[in-house]
Amino acid sequence: MPKKDDWVIIHATVLTSDQRAPQVPADTSGVPLETWVKGYLQADAEIGSEVKVKTVSGRIETGKLIEVNPTYRHSFGNFIPEILEIDRRLHVALYGGEANGN
């Protein structure tokens, strides 16, 4: 059970799709504006419940409790072999290649 002062991430809907500005592109205006915020849990809670967190900047935010001690799960994608060749060619063009210790 998540406890007060645990580091957590919450999810909230900032604007529903019908609250979006009229100048927003159609593919964007058709979906809600959502936010995920990390902060310190302000009271004991259960995953999935509505909670308040205090962010590192001191803001109090409200949302659905998603996870305790969240971690980054992003990447920059899969390895692309062509990038190595581009890197090699740039080193040759810019620094004279391997003969100059680069």
Q: Tell me the per-residue pLDDT of 28-48, one tens digit each, with 9 for 90 and over.
A: 999 999 999 999 999 999 999
CA-CA distance, 19 to 31, in Å (whole number)? 10
**pTM of the entire predicted model:** 0.72
Domain boundaries, the chain: 7-72
CA-CA distance, 45 to 2, in Å (whole number)? 6
| Alpha helices, H only, the chain | 26-29, 81-95
Radius of gyration of the chain (CA): 23
How much is the pLDDT for 99? Answer: 52
Identify the sign of the CA torsion 63, 43, 38, 6.
negative
